[in-house]
Amino acid sequence: MYVNEAEQVEQLKKWVNEYGASLIVGVFLALVIGFGWRFWQQRQEQQLEHASVRYEQLLTNVVNGNTTAVESQALRLMTRYPHTPYAQLAALQLARQQVYQDDYSGAQTQLTWVMKHGNNPALREVARLRVARLQLAQNKTEDALTTLDKIEDKSYLPAINIAKGDVLLALGKTTEAAQAYQAAMTAFPGLDEMQPILSMKIDNLVGATNTTK
């Protein structure tokens, strides 16, 4: 029994000598990674919490019509918390305010920022649609079509087709516009309120085309 125990102790010593350093390094790395992961999670949660508070303050100023505060708070959110959804929402709010102020260039800058930096596909699509609408309002129809060529969230395809139809109509391409509206209507299951509007647009275009023939 003693011999076996002695052999076991000796074997343990050899194992420690051979693998001890690697074991210590492994344990150390595991602790560092675990601590780093928890720290990162806590920081992300804090960032979200702080951004949420800032965004609530921004909305309060939107309601109160304090445009100066809205702009400063939106820019702060975009600078300090760029990877949170609140930063993208703030940029959309600022763009909306700038449109009301007829600052289309400024609005497009904010919307483009969302398209480039947003980590939410739905918000990127909202920004894309609004950029296209701004370009159409400024008669930049070809630019608007280019903007609408890309789609990341297919649930926005009906809205994009409606926007395409409006741009194509502005270009005088009535047949293509009617096709875009038809595609939007087909892809609008359950949204009955949109059907009459799109049907009217399609009927008007078809009627106009038949009249010209």
CATH number, domain with residue 135: 1.25.40.10
Does residue 184 register a pLDDT over 90? Answer: no
Transcribe the chain into DSSP letters.
-HHHHHHHHHHHHHHHHHHHHHHHHHHHHHHHHHHHHHHHHHHHHHHHHHHHHHHHHHHHHHHHT-HHHHHHHHHHHHHH-TTSHHHHHHHHHHHHHHHHTT-HHHHHHHHHHHHHH-S-HHHHHHHHHHHHHHHHHTT-HHHHHHHHT--S-GGGHHHHHHHHHHHHHHTT-HHHHHHHHHHHHHT-TT-TTHHHHHHHHHHHHHHHHHHH-
Average predicted confidence (pLDDT) for the chain: 82
Please give the residue range of the domain that contains residue 65: 2-212
Work out the percent of the chain whose per-residue pLDDT is above 90.
50
Q: 190-201 pLDDT, tens per residue? A: 555 566 777 777
Q: 76-134 pLDDT, tens per residue? A: 999 999 988 999 999 999 999 999 999 999 999 999 999 998 888 999 999 999 999 99
Does residue 211 register a pLDDT over 60? Answer: no
Does residue 54 register a pLDDT over 80? Answer: yes
Q: What is the domain count for the chain?
A: 1
Residue 119's pLDDT is: 85
